[in-house]
Amino acid sequence: MAKGGKEIRRRIRSVKSTQQITKAMKMMAAARLRRSEGRTAASRPYTDTLQAVMRDLTAVAGEIEHPYLSHLAPDVPRVLLLFLTSDKGLCGAFNTNLIKRAQAFVNEQTKAGRSVEMICAGRKGKSFAAKADAELLTAYPSFTDKTTYADLRKVSDLLTEAYLNKRVSEVYLIYARYVNVVRSIPTLVRLLPIEQLPEAAADEAERDYMLEPNPPELLALLLPRYFQTILFQAAIENFTSENGSRMVAMENATKAAEEMIDYLTLQYNKARQAGITLELLDIVGGAEALKG
């Protein structure tokens, strides 16, 4: 029993050490989540306003030809995917759900007779690309709350260059759209050509806008900015979703460690009590033997 009690004490110390680590990781994830959640919420009005401006301009401009709005090479049997994941694990099902969505996308494109090229931001996505039926062009560290428009310029240039040079027919993005701390949605977006903007309401479409320069010129100026805005919003939402998932996962791990400690403590007390009982029986038995 003494040996069993010693082993249980060792396991309790081990679980307590793990619990301290999960608590620390939860606090770090919570701090990062607060920062990135605020940044995500602050950028959404800008993104929504820009989308509304683009929608109104499209309504008054009528038919307009722009490389970002029409398929330049629809017959090219190749598409490009920008895949956002995290560099590290221990964030619940965050990366698993993203990888499932990416695998489904690759399967859909393969069935349609198109090959997939991938640009990954995050080590987990890079690992997936090495195993998937896709060609990895390049990989970057995962985007964080410190990512800026300037940081994304290199990625943006790679995506637009591949599309404008007619090397791929379409450009897609997979990221985790942040809903709340416990929920994020793996989302597929077609970046190029830009997906159809929501139609303007009837009263908005009938307004008589006075614009300078004219709507086609404004659209030509704003479409690249709109493309970069979508990319930036996806990057910060993905990072926010990652930290929300990590905080929840570490909180659950901390609770599980606490339950394990309680269980092991109970087992240790039982083993200790059994050991004491055996010692008492030995003493009583020895005393009785001496009397005889």
> What was the pLDDT predicted at 217?
77
pLDDT category, 79, cuts 50, 70, 90? very high
Average pLDDT, the chain: 85
pLDDT at residue 70 tops 90: no
Asked if residue 138 is part of any domain, the answer here is yes
164: domain CATH number is 3.40.1380.10
pLDDT, greater one: 64 or 257 = 257
> What was the pLDDT predicted at 216?
72
pTM, 2 dp:
0.83
> What was the pLDDT predicted at 292?
59
pLDDT in tens, 109-164: 999 999 999 999 999 999 999 888 889 999 999 998 888 888 888 899 999 999 99
Which residues neighbour 272 within 8 Å (Cβ) at sequence distance 6 or greater?
A: 1, 5
Size (the chain), residues: 292
The predicted model gives 71-78 an average pLDDT of: 90
Asked if residue 279 is part of any domain, the answer here is no
> What was the pLDDT predicted at 225?
86
pLDDT at residue 39 tops 90: no
pLDDT in tens, 265-275: 998 888 888 77
Asked if residue 18 is part of any domain, the answer here is no
pLDDT at residue 207 tops 60: no
Asked if residue 275 is part of any domain, the answer here is no
pLDDT in tens, 219-251: 778 888 888 888 999 999 999 999 999 999 999
Asked if residue 286 is part of any domain, the answer here is no
User: 4-13, 189-198, 231-240: which has the highest mean pLDDT?
Assistant: 231-240
Euclidean distance between CA atoms 73 and 196, whole angstroms:
18
93 lies in which domain range? 28-247
- Into how many domains does the chain fold? 1
Asked if residue 284 is part of any domain, the answer here is no
> What was the pLDDT predicted at 202?
43
The predicted model gives 272-289 an average pLDDT of: 74
Asked if residue 70 is part of any domain, the answer here is yes
Asked if residue 55 is part of any domain, the answer here is yes
